[in-house]
């Protein structure tokens, strides 16, 4: 006899199944329509650009789980087992329908392979679901929540998989077909049932299994399971959409289609929570909570029935002022499986808060007023901006006839803060030693606009951007080196029509070293560790240049902290936090300084004025004394010269 399978074996009133299938499909499609409706109302445009690279990334990340495996292999393997198990069974069911309704092909060898494949897929799903339950409820992985749907969804899948295996066992107990061994799990289970008992029980279990599977399909849009559709869509859009420079264009600060899909595609996996420095410092902000609150707020605003996810706590819809705690360090995007940039959403929320004049911290308002009046957040004066250069005999590019190959853009913090001024003086001396023809803008140097941009004051940012571009154009400046990674990032990424090239000083030093203009004569006998500034490292992927410079200094022993490069911890000074009074259980800078001390290093090196200030303050607060000290990379280079 040719191996085959009888559809609807021992099942009567099949029309009921078709009615239930139609109902499940209708509920599923109604849910999907609801999502599209909310996206349309909450986004400025539903236009989806085509990108071959984004499509490739979506396919690879969806089917190979690259992002899910990154940083947590156990979670990635668990997810792949569930995904491929579920997909295998879905494909198998679809093939069975085609075989039954369109043309017959699952016979003979094809049927044997089909049966074996379904068993493997079912085992993968079963293993993945059990693993997921163990991680969440026995291991109790800290980043995982334990809500009602977090238990219901995997248990639902577990029952569907188990009932499928038992159902196959009942059928094989009756048929005892010679090819039954290819359904090896069902074949093993068949031995536990008598033929008569199995035949009587089979129809009841079949209908139970059918209700579980059809119900599962129906509830996908009404639970966090929607990430099955939302996650691939979000991954694609994050890759296909062009980076938006938030300026004074219409609708700046509003959420776009990518944001809305990201909110709905979020699985609440908690990886962003685990990576967020604000959470680590015990502050009242977590990216996951913020995203979920925004998601519910959008649904409450744009859908008549509110949030259709019936197991979501309704109190999540309140978006409070805690988003000011975000450092915009990009750690959330670095780890998110669906490339969700929560920090960018925070900035958009800040834009709306500034426009409405609500939820803006008092101290930050005062800083913005100072920034508007004096073009810096530190001093109620413009005259002191070039005071740090007294005695260095530097070229002032704003003087008549002054020319230089390179403009050193010092930045607000480096110009005014006593601790950070040593960065400017050291870098200037290094450039002089290397014979570089450079100049500064002195007291006419503007603010690049970084602070205004990070806190959402786009009107002020546009003014500062325009003023900077006009000033650089007026004095013919085409090459710029910055002290601050924040200035560098703003020039490089948020001045779309800039008539100049911006580099961070670490890039300049690395080029001078390669050209033989920077040679270390003295050397420094010390063990050091390096702190990656967020806007130099994660935002602009400059990890190697500072380390190459450090390693080139004779006598230096560079050791890495537990968190380094893309996994580095934030100092807590970014995102406008330097000019706010934010309290947590512990300061981010103190967490970082303790990690640096634990390496046994004598010197903590960084390459950002904000990091230098925050880490030096943390060193003093922690009572760490010599020989442990905090230095800017320029200071170390100058010492070695």
User: Is 0.85 surpassed by the pTM of this model?
Assistant: yes
Q: Residue 252: is its pLDDT beyond 70? A: no
Q: Residue 84: is its pLDDT beyond 60? A: yes
Sign of CA dihedral 579, 535, 276, 255: positive
Q: Residue 244: is its pLDDT beyond 80? A: no
504, 506, 511, 515 alpha-carbon torsion, rounded to 10° = 140
| Top CATH class, 237-362 | mainly alpha
Mean pLDDT to the nearest integer, 80-84: 96
Distance CA 223, CA 452 (A): 38
The CATH code of domain 371-513 reads 3.40.50
Distance CA 34, CA 40 (A): 10
Closest to 459 measured CA to CA, from 632, 246, 204, 223: 246
Banded pLDDT at 246 (limits 50, 70, 90): low
Distance CA 163, CA 155 (A): 12
Mean pLDDT to the nearest integer, 379-405: 90
Distance CA 604, CA 30 (A): 57
Q: What is the pLDDT of residues 87-99, one digit of tens each?
A: 999 999 999 889 8
Average pLDDT over the chain reads: 92
Residues 6 or more apart in contact with residue 88 via CB below 8 angstroms:
117, 118, 120, 121, 122, 124, 125
Residues of the chain within CATH 1.10.1060 domain(s) are 237-362
CB 263 within 8 A of CB 3: no
Q: Residue 245: is its pLDDT beyond 70? A: no
* Half-sphere exposure of residue 359: CA atoms within 13 angstroms, side-chain side: 17
Q: Residue 498: is its pLDDT beyond 90? A: no
Residue 248 has what pLDDT?
46
CA 421 to chain centre: 33
Name the architecture of domain 515-640.
3-Layer(aba) Sandwich (3.40)
Q: What is the pLDDT of residues 144-190, one digit of tens each?
A: 999 999 999 999 999 999 999 999 999 999 988 888 888 999 999 99
Residues of the chain within CATH 3.40.50 domain(s) are 371-513, 515-640
Q: CA of 591: how far to CAs of 160, 271, 564, 628, 631, in Å?
A: 46, 19, 14, 16, 18
Sign of CA dihedral 533, 536, 537, 539: positive
In what side-by-side order are the strands of the sheet with 501-504? 395-396, 438-440, 406-409, 479-482, 501-504
CB 148 within 8 A of CB 102: no
- Measure the CA angle with vertex 411, ends 405 and 413; round to 5°: 150
Residues 6 or more apart in contact with residue 304 via CB below 8 angstroms:
none
DSSP code string of 506-548: HHHHHHHHHTT----SS---EEEEE---TTTTTTT---HHHHH
User: For 14-229, which CATH superfamily applies?
Assistant: Transmembrane di-heme cytochromes, Chain C (1.20.950.20)
Angle between helices 257-265 and 14-42 (to 10 degrees): 140
């Amino acid at each position: 006899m040719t191996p085959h399978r009888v559809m609807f074996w021992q099942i009567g009133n099949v029309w009921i199944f078709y009615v239930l299938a139609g109902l499940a499909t209708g509920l599923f499609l109604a849910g999907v329509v609801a999502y599209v409706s909310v996206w349309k109302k909450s986004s400025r445009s539903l236009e989806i650009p085509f990108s071959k690279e984004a499509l490739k990334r979506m396919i690879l990340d969806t089917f190979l789980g690259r992002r899910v495996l990154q940083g947590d292999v156990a979670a990635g393997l668990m997810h792949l087992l569930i995904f491929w198990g579920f997909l295998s069974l879905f494909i198998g069911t679809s093939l069975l329908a085609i075989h039954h309704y369109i043309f017959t092909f699952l016979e003979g060898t094809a049927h044997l392979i089909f049966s074996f494949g379904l068993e493997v897929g079912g085992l993968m799903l079963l293993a993945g679901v059990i693993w997921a339950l163990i991680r969440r409820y026995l291991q109790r992985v800290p980043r995982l929540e334990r809500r009602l749907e977090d238990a219901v969804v995997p248990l639902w899948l577990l029952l569907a998989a188990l009932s499928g295996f038992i159902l196959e066992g009942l059928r094989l107990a009756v048929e005892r077909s010679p090819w039954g061994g290819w359904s090896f799990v069902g074949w093993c289970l068949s031995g536990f049932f008598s033929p008569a008992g199995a035949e009587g029980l089979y129809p009841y279990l079949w209908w139970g299994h059918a209700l579980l599977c059809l119900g599962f399909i129906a509830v996908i849009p009404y639970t966090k399971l929607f990430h099955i559709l939302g996650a691939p869509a979000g991954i694609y859009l994050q890759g296909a959409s062009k980076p938006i420079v938030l300026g004074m264009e219409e609708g700046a600060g509003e959420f776009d289609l990518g944001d809305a899909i990201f909110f709905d595609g979020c699985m609440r996996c908690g990886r962003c929570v685990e990576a967020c420095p604000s959470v680590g410092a015990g502050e009242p902000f977590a990216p996951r909570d913020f995203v979920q609150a925004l998601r519910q707020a959008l649904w409450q605003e744009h859908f008549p029935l509110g949030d259709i996810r019936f197991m979501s706590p309704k109190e999540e819809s309140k978006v409070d002022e805690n988003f000011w705690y975000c450092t915009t360090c990009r750690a959330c995007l670095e780890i998110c499986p669906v490339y969700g940039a929560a920090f960018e959403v925070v900035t958009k929320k800040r834009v709306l808060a500034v426009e409405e004049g609500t939820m803006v911290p008092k101290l930050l308002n005062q800083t913005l007023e100072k920034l508007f009046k004096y073009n810096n957040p530190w001093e109620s004066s413009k005259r002191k901006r070039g005071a740090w250069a007294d005695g260095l005999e530097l070229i002032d590019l704003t003087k008549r006839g002054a020319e230089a190959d390179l403009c050193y853009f010092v930045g607000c913090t480096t110009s005014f803060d006593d601790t950070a001024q040593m960065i400017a003086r050291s870098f200037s001396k290094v450039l002089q030693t290397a014979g570089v023809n450079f100049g500064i803008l002195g007291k006419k140097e503007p603010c690049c606009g970084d602070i205004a941009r990070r806190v959402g004051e786009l009107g002020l940012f546009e003014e500062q951007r325009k003023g900077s571009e006009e000033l650089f154009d007026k004095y013919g400046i085409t090459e710029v080196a910055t002290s601050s990674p924040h200035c560098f990032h703003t020039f490089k990424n948020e001045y779309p029509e800039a008539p100049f090239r911006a580099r961070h000083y670490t890039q300049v030093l690395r080029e001078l070293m390669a050209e033989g203009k920077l040679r270390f004569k003295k050397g420094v006998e010390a063990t050091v560790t390096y702190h990656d500034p967020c806007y130099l490292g994660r935002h602009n992927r400059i990890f190697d240049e500072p380390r190459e410079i450090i390693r080139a200094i004779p006598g230096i022993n560079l050791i890495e902290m537990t968190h380094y490069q893309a996994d580095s911890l934030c100092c807590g000074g970014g995102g406008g936090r330097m000019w706010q009074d934010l309290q947590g259980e512990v300061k981010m800078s103190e967490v970082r300084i303790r990690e640096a001390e634990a390496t046994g290093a004598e010197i903590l090196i960084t390459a950002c004025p904000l990091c230098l200030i925050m880490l030096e303050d943390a060193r003093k607060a922690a009572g760490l004394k010599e020989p442990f000290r905090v230095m800017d990379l320029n200071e170390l280079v100058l010492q070695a010269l």
